[in-house]
Amino acid sequence: MAISLLSDANVRLERALKYVRISEDASERLKFPKASLKVSIPVRMDNGSLRVFEGYRVRYDDTRGPTKGGIRFHPGVTMDEVQSLAFWMTFKCAALDLPLGGAKGGITLNPKELSKFELERLSRGYIDAIADFIGPDTDIPAPDVYTNPMIMGWMMDQYSIIHRKLCPAVITGKPLGMGGSQGRDAATGTGAFYVLEAMMQRFSKPPQEMTVAVQGFGNAGSAIARHLFNAGYRVVAVSDSQGGVYCKTGLDIPSVQQFKASTRSVKAVYCEGTVCNIVNDHETITNEELLTLDVDILIPAALENQITEKNAEDVKARFIFEVANGPVTSAGDRILEQKGVYVFPDILVNAGGVTVSYFEWVQNRSGLYWSEAEVNQRLKGKIVSEARKIWQISQELAIPLRTAAYVHALERLEEAHSARGTRDYYVS
């Protein structure tokens, strides 16, 4: 039977609840999404036919602020997946102390099959369908898997047309010319690199002696691979949906990136080339092989449910930094824990994206724009300080880093929920 992502996400919550004093009201409310919307999006295709797509938007919890979360275009998008991603966003925003709640959205499709014109009509149609559900003070979408700044620009424009005024703060991850933030495009990878750099200082091995494998060479995966390469780490393997490349002396990441970028510009909005086509001095490997390579650091940066009870035993890396959302299942977690693997969790590691999205929203609302250096400096300060707090909780309570991150987030969520009154206040 397929694993329900939301039930699996709730396993993590239950586990963390044992280590934190939280009202029954708050823990009960956090088990359910606040609102889940399913819409049909009719799109006129280039050949004149009409196709109807299914779209979703979920607002999980808004106790700490307007909800925030990306929009995914992928054939695997379901309500269960979107609800789980919205759950993770709630904990991520709280773990980073952003004044935001969690949300997520998606459309079920293979975007590579659509022309740019069809994609634009679909993106605008999605906003027409969910316009009453989102807004700068209620719910602010952003990019996720297979969506990009251009798509965010179309969406912001459509929302502005509906409201008959420019509304840049309704969506983040926009192109710079439409009110996007410097540093947003690479923010998830950059933030993950800051966390990795700060945490690896605790283990006395210099970057030059450490090997890394990155699964998923998209926005987030390629950005962290580039940072690691520049810092001297040996990135020996990277992959995309079609497979991976391995080179034991280390890949030249800028060339891999250049190859992907040049293929993309020739073909479509999406990268149709694959990293497997880079021919020099490498072996091709499958995504499954990449996950069990004998490396120091493994970075899953593609999709959820990649390390499960089926392959966790074979993982050889000592450190896992979850750049993707939910790449390790709770059953996979238990095996990794027994093996002594340090799993730095998604709600911390990939929080750079939502942090700079928050900065973009702040800049749109204030009308004052920051330089890339300023954005990155603020990002580093925030994410490294929260990473240290999570490490500290993990050490003090002798619990895995993931549970520590949830405990940290739950303390903040509890404060916000309790401030509204709980049964302790009304009943006693």
For residue 106, count other CB atoms closer than 10 A to its CB.
28
Q: Report the residue number, 211 or 215, with the smaller CB distance to ligand NAD.
A: 215
Question: Could you give the C-alpha distances from 61 to 28, 67, 91, in angstroms and in order?
Answer: 12, 7, 9
Q: Is 30 in contact with 106 (CB distance < 8 Å)?
A: no
Using CB under 6 A, pick the residue from 139, 157, 240, 333 that binds ligand NAD.
240
- The yes or no reply on residue 301 touching ligand NAD (CB under 6 A) is yes
Q: Report the residue number, 27 or 305, with the smaller CB distance to ligand NAD.
A: 305
For residue 263, count other CB atoms closer than 10 A to its CB.
17
DSSP sequence for 2-25 = PPPHHHHHHHHHHHHHTTS---HH
The SS3 of residue 213 is strand
Exactly one of 68, 92, 104, 260 is catalytic; which is it?
Answer: 104
- The yes or no reply on residue 323 touching ligand NAD (CB under 6 A) is yes
Q: Is 35 in contact with 58 (CB distance < 8 Å)?
A: yes
20-28, 247-255, 320-328, 371-379 -> range binding ligand NAD (CB under 6 A)? 320-328
Q: Residues 199 to 218: which contact ligand NAD by CB under 6 A?
A: 215-218
Burial class (CB in 10 A: 0-12, 13-18, 19+), 36: middle
For residue 376, count other CB atoms closer than 10 A to its CB.
20
Q: Report the residue number, 227 or 417, with the smaller CB distance to ligand NAD.
A: 227
Q: Report the residue number, 8 or 144, with the smaller CB distance to ligand NAD.
A: 144
- Please state the closest distance from residue 55 (CB atom) to ligand NAD, in A: 17
40-48, 228-236, 298-306, 415-423 -> range binding ligand NAD (CB under 6 A)? 298-306
**Residue least distant from ligand NAD (Cβ):** 218
- The yes or no reply on residue 400 touching ligand NAD (CB under 6 A) is no
- The yes or no reply on residue 139 touching ligand NAD (CB under 6 A) is no
Using CB under 6 A, pick the residue from 4, 78, 160, 241 that binds ligand NAD.
241
**Would you state the structure tokens that stand for residue 301, as one six-digit string?**
């940066």
- The yes or no reply on residue 144 touching ligand NAD (CB under 6 A) is yes
- Please state the closest distance from residue 79 (CB atom) to ligand NAD, in A: 16
For residue 264, count other CB atoms closer than 10 A to its CB.
14
Structure-token match 């993707």, residue found = 324
DSSP sequence for 326-356 = S-B-HHHHHHHHHTT-EEE-HHHHTTHHHHH
Burial class (CB in 10 A: 0-12, 13-18, 19+), 362: middle
36-44, 205-213, 297-305, 361-369 -> range binding ligand NAD (CB under 6 A)? 297-305
Q: Report the residue number, 221 or 400, with the smaller CB distance to ligand NAD.
A: 221
Q: Residues 261 to 290: which contact ligand NAD by CB under 6 A?
A: 287
Q: Report the residue number, 106 or 400, with the smaller CB distance to ligand NAD.
A: 106
Q: Is 67 in contact with 114 (CB distance < 8 Å)?
A: no
Distance CA 274, CA 281 (A): 16
Active site annotation includes 260: no
- Please state the closest distance from residue 392 (CB atom) to ligand NAD, in A: 24
- The yes or no reply on residue 353 touching ligand NAD (CB under 6 A) is yes
Kindly give, in sequence order, each residue whose CB lies less than 8 Å from that of residue 161, ignoring residues fewer than 6 positions away. Answer: none
37-45, 117-125, 236-244, 400-408 -> range binding ligand NAD (CB under 6 A)? 236-244
- The yes or no reply on residue 245 touching ligand NAD (CB under 6 A) is no
Q: Report the residue number, 88 or 133, with the smaller CB distance to ligand NAD.
A: 88
Q: Is 63 in contact with 132 (CB distance < 8 Å)?
A: no
**Would you state the structure tokens that stand for residue 262, as one six-digit string?**
């040049």
Residues that bind ligand NAD (CB under 6 A): 143-146, 188, 215-221, 239-241, 287, 301-303, 323-325, 350, 353
Catalogue the active-site residues.
Answer: 104
